[in-house]
Chain A
């Protein structure tokens, strides 16, 4: 069992989940509220990582963050080194890769809030931001949990983007899924088995916690 890889994976997933929830909230609010072309374009762009091969995403991220683009050159000037093959680069890649898993549950959550409630709150004097903070957010709180669990689990399980963008540097970019790949390459099936089991059990428990909470909530509502 590669403990360094386990620690790195958990750190990556935690950081990605936190950044994504902050980033996804305004995006989801925009998509949920607007029924126009820009909102649909944004939604389609955000959902893209669901259907693209991760290697495509990893490849373009590698190019975009490298010295070939303006963005990449700017980043290199600020940081003093390229983002690719660093832990920060992995976080950026994971954020893009897991974006739909954070945004889409939040869009559904925000859309499920009865417009009669938000409208009434507005007439009673609440500004759009206050309506969002005091009515929409609390009523959509379950979807934040869904978004967090899905983002975390998805980040733990990602492979293609990590390999393209991070390479396989022990302690820096070698995550559990890469570690399993290496173990299989070395024909060390016992180690691969142990690592895989950890991932299966962990993912199952996360999903179990999510669904158990949902059904207990439904019971208490009834």
Chain B
């Protein structure tokens, strides 16, 4: 019997953003999904729409309520009993999302440590994992920087604080990362990626990230959705979808 994998989240976004007409349906069924596209193709807007921060867009966003992201048909009584939560009707703070925006957006009046502590301090349901903040600081090697203010951090350090803050959101059901590794050198990026994967796998939190970097999209070894001028193109495993792009780049290099 073939295995049917149900998407854990489905997102539809339609918006007029200046000259760009955004019209995308994104179906998330992998632990890590990457939206890949050139600058200005509307990637960040898709994430902001999912967050509920793009009021001008028409958005449908739903989540499969049964907690394991991978469900097979035989697990379902009658097969049709999928229950979806409509997230588009909820305000941003009740969507159980986590978000690292493109320009870090650290709170300038709070230290790096307090930025990372923020989600667990403001959440309505108290976190059941008291070590969450410490673990997130450790994951991104931020303990030595925790007392610094955002203005005293380099671009790469700010990026790491923003990621740690996203990872420190209690009871998160989907993580949205906008160009997560911009400004980080390759060695650090590769190391962080391994550690992030392990963390996400233990907690069973899926990720939707966006990038304009082919290399990065391949590295994630994730499900890739190609975005071209506001429309969703090919979707599938990274090597498959990006093969053409890789060939083109190899030709340029040779």
B-contacting residues of A (Cβ < 8 Å)? 114, 116-117, 119-128, 130, 134-135, 138-139, 221
Query: DSSP class of A's interface residues: helix, strand, loop or mixed?
Result: helix
| Minimum C-beta distance from B148 to chain A (A) | 15
Give every chain A residue within 8 A of B119 (Cβ-Cβ): 124-125
Contacts A124-B165, A125-B93, A126-B93: A117 and B107 contacting too (C-beta < 8 A)? yes
CB–CB A120/B93 < 8 A = no
B91 part of interface (Cβ distance < 8 Å): yes
Q: Mark B164-183, 1 if CB is under 8 A from A, else 0.
A: 01100110000010000000
B residues contacting the other copy or chain, number (CB 8 A): 28
- Contacting pair B91 A122 (CB below 8 A): yes
Which interface residue of A122, A128, A139 has the most chain B CB atoms within 10 A?
Answer: A122
CB pair B53–A130 under 8 Å, yes or no, is no
A123 touches B99 (CB 8 A): yes
Q: Which of A122, A123, A127 is in CB contact (< 8 Å) with B98?
A: A123
Write 17 A-B pairs (CB below 8 A) sorted by A numbering: A119-B51, A121-B118, A122-B52, A123-B53, A123-B93, A123-B95, A123-B98, A124-B93, A124-B118, A124-B122, A124-B165, A125-B169, A126-B122, A127-B124, A130-B122, A139-B108, A221-B151
Given A122-B91, A122-B92; A116-B105 close (CB under 8 Å): yes
List chain B residues, Cβ under 8 A from A120. Answer: 99, 101, 105
Does B123 count as interface, using CB distance less than 8 angstroms? yes
- Per the bound structure, the CA–CA distance linking A125 and B119 in Å amounts to 6
Instruction: Please give me the residue from chain B that is nearest to A220 by CB atom.
Output: B151
Q: Which of B53, B105, B124 contacts A125 (CB 8 A)?
A: B124
When the two chains form their complex, are residues B99 and A134 in contact, meaning their CB atoms are under 8 A apart? Answer: no
A140–B123 CA distance with the chains assembled, in angstroms: 23
- In the bound complex, residues from chain A placing their C-beta under 8 Å from that of B108 are 117, 139
Q: Which residues of B contact A119 (CB under 8 A)?
A: 48, 51, 53, 92, 101
